[in-house]
Structure 1
Amino acid sequence: MAVTRPALIALTALAPVSWGTTYAVTTEFLPADRPLFTGLLRALPAGLLLLALARVLPRGAWWWRSAVLGALNIGAFFPLLFLSAYRMPGGMAAVVGSLGPLLVVGLSAPLLGRRPTARSVLTGVVAASGVSLVVLEAAGGLDALGVLAAVAATVSMSTGTVLTQRWGRPDGVGPLALTGWQLTAGGLLIAPLALLAEGAPPALDGPALGGYLYLALANTALAYWLWFRGIGRLSATQVTFLGPLSPLTAAVIGWAALDETLGPVQLAGMALALGATLVGQRAPRTRTVTATPAPVVPRRTPAEAATARPAGTEKGARRDTRPGAPSGVR
């Protein structure tokens, strides 16, 4: 059954909406100060599950491509994201992450051959401004390492998004297998880091097990499958402009479930970010170049060809036809 473009956009949007629940689930149900362990349990079980469902392994160049995409989209992104969240206010991390659409617009020029348009740049600026109004708090100092981690996480995910579209998928391989490859590769990258930096896994109670189960299945396996499926059918710019839905979802959950407030400034920021998200879903314009037809040269008769003056000779000039005369002498 064919999926219409609006339905495809709506399904892809479920991914950042799901990611917007990560902060609430992490703070309310999961052990504190275990970002690498949390990233590992998000990525590796989900990747192995999707591999078991797809039953397809990479071949040829797709072994190293899957490793690169898995590192960018999962293995580096998860630890850097959690590191930034632990070292500075979550609002500031969300603001840095909202710059992702602008990075994707910029990277699409060298990697996809798509020049940035004024509309896409302006839309990215409006989206980042809207997210800033929603989540940015005046209080709280900035941590240099936290800022660097947030920037690196945004660059990593943006680069992975563009490369995912540049490389596409192997023939006969669906988004389920591609997502499984990346999640498994990313999880295997995080595993030794989590063991070295955080030691043995912590003891888990019922809420923690439920939280990790939700993160692995809905928040990661399903959400990333929808995300990579969208990248394969929409432009990278369209997909990344759905990203602001993540901090907006987090803000709504904080207001509804965590007793946080949403004032007029935050509501105005939501309107700006949502408007930019909708504008970002407009199909990109493609320029078509019309080739100029070559002039039709009439055929000449043998007699005309014999008496025709050689090309490039001046009017009235006589060609030296003596035997042994250099070519081109007039």
Structure 2
Amino acid sequence: MKPADTALALLVALIWGLGFVFTRYALTEMSPTVLNLLRFAITALPCLLLPRPQLAWTVWVGISLLLVWQYLTQSWGISQGVPAGLTAVIVQSQALFTIAFAAVLLGERPTRAQLTGIGVAACGLLMICFTVGYDFTLVAFAVTMTAPIAFAFSNLLLRQARDVPMLDLFAWISFASLPPLALAAWVTDGGPAIWHELTHLSPGVMAAMLSLSVGSTTIGYWIWGRLLHAYSAAQVVPFALLVPFIGAGASSLVFGETFGPLRLTGMLIVVAGLAIMLLFGRARPPLPEVG
């Protein structure tokens, strides 16, 4: 990769890693539903200038609902005490689920390296499970674990939009996500509470929201899509391994989050498993259909 593009890939990893810190900070003044409603309302603004990508409505609805579920569950987990740094590691385990679901649903045969990585990452997640109950509940952990599952399913749907510009795609997906997010906010918070939260944001939280929407989503995915168009996935995707390290390190510095030996070891093992999958695993072609 060119030095400038390497710098851009590092910038995206930094933006996405810090996004978990900004989320926790914004949750001090906003509920998870209102936070995500405002985030995607801002992200959807480019729809006023960008053309709507040509995708089947089932793909639009599927990706939008999965996106809503992913961000609501991960932000709800953080609001319930799941450390932002740990959440960053959990969300990045989507690579494990993506490979597994592609094998089951699409017939893609995982390589030995991918199977090894899945096994290593699963062991790390199991070690993290043994630390549940000390600073957050089993329910909070279980709900947070559904975020990478939704992420994985959306990855499979996104394959049908490979030729669509990322900026256009995520702007319109964000727009399609607004109705279910507005409904969720109305049901859980109510109109008066939503209005109160939106009209009493501190400057710091407003800056965090702009970083999440404009930085993490709009700019981050635009750069990432540009890099994936210019280089192979094997050259670009490994930079995503930096996200959990940045998220965990930044949350430790900003919020004083600490991880016990068992949890820290589990987090490192998860990232090691992801590294094996991303750096050494290349998917085999699907099995031929019989008959």
TM-score by length of 2: 0.74
Task: Look up the match of 1:193.
Answer: 184
Deviations 1:33-62 (A, max 9, x none): 51111111222211222x244x21144x53
Q: Flag the structure with larger Rg.
A: 1
Asked if 2 retains the 8 angstrom alpha-carbon contact of 1:29 and 1:211, the reply is yes
Identity %: 23
1:315-326 → structure 2 map (5 Å cutoff): none
Higher mean displacement: 217-226 or 275-284? 275-284
User: Structure 1 124/179 Cα, relative in aligned 2: closer, same or farther at 3 Å?
Assistant: same
Asked if 2 retains the 8 angstrom alpha-carbon contact of 1:95 and 1:135, the reply is no
1:1-330 → structure 2 map (5 Å cutoff): 4=1, 11=8, 14-15=11-12, 17-32=14-29, 34-49=31-46, 51-53=47-49, 55-59=50-54, 61-72=55-66, 74-90=67-83, 93=87, 96-127=90-121, 137=131, 140=134, 143-165=137-159, 167-169=160-162, 173-199=164-190, 200-201=194-195, 202=197, 203-227=200-224, 239=237, 244-260=241-257, 275-279=272-276, 280-282=278-280, 284=282, 286=284
Asked if 2 retains the 8 angstrom alpha-carbon contact of 1:30 and 1:212, the reply is no
TM-superposed CA distance for 1:18, in Å, is 2.5
TM-superposed CA distance for 1:68, in Å, is 1.3
Higher helix residue share? 2
Deviations 1:302-321 (A, max 9, x none): xxxxxxxxxxxxxxxxxxxx
Q: SS of the counterpart of 1:20?
A: helix
User: Structure 1 23/193 Cα, relative in aligned 2: closer, same or farther at 3 Å?
Assistant: same
In the alignment of these two chains, the number of paired residues is: 277
Gaps of 5+ in 2: none
Higher mean displacement: 246-255 or 114-123? 246-255
Higher relative contact order (CA 8 A, sep 6+): 2
Q: SS of the counterpart of 1:21?
A: helix
User: Structure 1 35/89 Cα, relative in aligned 2: closer, same or farther at 3 Å?
Assistant: same
Asked if 2 retains the 8 angstrom alpha-carbon contact of 1:22 and 1:219, the reply is yes
TM-score by length of 1: 0.67
Asked if 2 retains the 8 angstrom alpha-carbon contact of 1:67 and 1:185, the reply is yes
**Code of the aligned partner of 1:162:** L
User: Structure 1 135/205 Cα, relative in aligned 2: closer, same or farther at 3 Å?
Assistant: farther
TM-superposed CA distance for 1:105, in Å, is 1.0
**Code of the aligned partner of 2:148:** T
